[in-house]
């Protein structure tokens, strides 16, 4: 079964999860967050769960094989017309693995929405979220590390998406509704 893939990309605190969920609702696609898949895994009691928890608490990326071992089977078994992915791929290596996976499945990388938000605004939003959600990985140190990793590992992917002609840049410093309305203009016929 052909499945359509849409990525939502942006720094932590850019609002990408919110936008990805709203778009998934609009298209009746399945929303997938690797952060959520990994957090679910850390709730288990085995040694592997403990190791993953340590990566997350520091704000580090968990090993590729682990993320892909959770994500790919989920993508394969979920009956859906498409997925909106939040949090994956996060590095050039992950993107290469993912493109290979998509070509094996004969699935299409449809579009990549990049939410552009200034670093200052992202830090501000993450600190607010840390107070509300009490996420363990939103301490000052983990926030700094996650944003650093984003710039070093994830931001370079934009060039690849541009080459693949799937990249759409969206101004992320507007209301949730305005951003979503702009994203939906690309799917008006749905």
Angle at 12 between CA 183 and CA 32, to 5 degrees: 60
Question: Which range touches ligand AMP (CB under 6 A), out of 24-32, 57-65, 95-103, 168-176?
Answer: 57-65
Compare residues 110 and 137 and give the one whose CB is closer to ligand AMP: 137
38 binds ligand AMP (CB under 6 A): yes
Q: Output the smallest distance, CB 106 to ligand AMP, in A.
A: 23
Binds ligand AMP by CB under 6 A, chosen from 35, 83, 109, 112: 35
Are 33 and 87 contacting, i.e. CB atoms less than 8 angstroms apart?
A: yes
> What part of residues 150-189 is at the interface with ligand AMP (CB under 6 A)?
none
Backbone dihedral angles phi then psi of residue 52, each to the nearest 5 degrees: -65, -40
13 binds ligand AMP (CB under 6 A): no
Report the distance separating Cα 34 and Cα 137, nearest Å: 15
Q: Output the smallest distance, CB 12 to ligand AMP, in A.
A: 5
**11: helix, coil or strand?**
coil
H-assigned helices in the chain: 16-27, 34-42, 47-58, 64-77, 92-105, 119-133, 140-149, 157-163, 176-184
34 binds ligand AMP (CB under 6 A): yes
Are 114 and 167 contacting, i.e. CB atoms less than 8 angstroms apart?
A: yes
Question: Which residue is nearest to ligand AMP, using beta carbons?
Answer: 35
- Name the residues that contact ligand AMP, by CB under 6 A: 12, 34-35, 38, 55-56, 59-62, 67, 87-88, 90, 94, 137, 146
């Amino acid at each position: 079964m052909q499945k359509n893939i849409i990525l939502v990309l942006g720094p932590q605190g850019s609002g990408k999860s919110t936008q990805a969920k709203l778009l998934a609702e609009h298209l009746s696609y399945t929303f997938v967050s690797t952060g959520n898949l990994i957090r679910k895994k850390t709730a288990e009691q085995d040694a592997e769960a403990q190791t993953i928890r340590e990566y997350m608490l520091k704000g580090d990326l968990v090993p590729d094989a682990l993320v892909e071992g959770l994500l790919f089977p989920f993508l394969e078994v979920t009956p859906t017309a498409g997925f909106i992915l939040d949090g994956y791929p996060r590095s050039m290596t992950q993107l290469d693995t993912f493109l290979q996976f998509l070509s094996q499945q004969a699935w299409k990388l449809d579009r990549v929405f990049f939410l552009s938000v200034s670093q200052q605004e992202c830090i501000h939003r993450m600190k607010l979220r840390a107070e509300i959600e009490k996420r363990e990985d939103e301490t000052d140190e983990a926030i700094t590390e996650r944003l650093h990793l984003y710039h070093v590992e994830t931001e370079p992917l934009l060039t690849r998406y541009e080459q693949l002609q799937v990249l759409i840049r969206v101004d992320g410093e507007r209301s949730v509704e305005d951003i979503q309305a702009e994203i939906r203009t690309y799917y008006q016929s749905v």
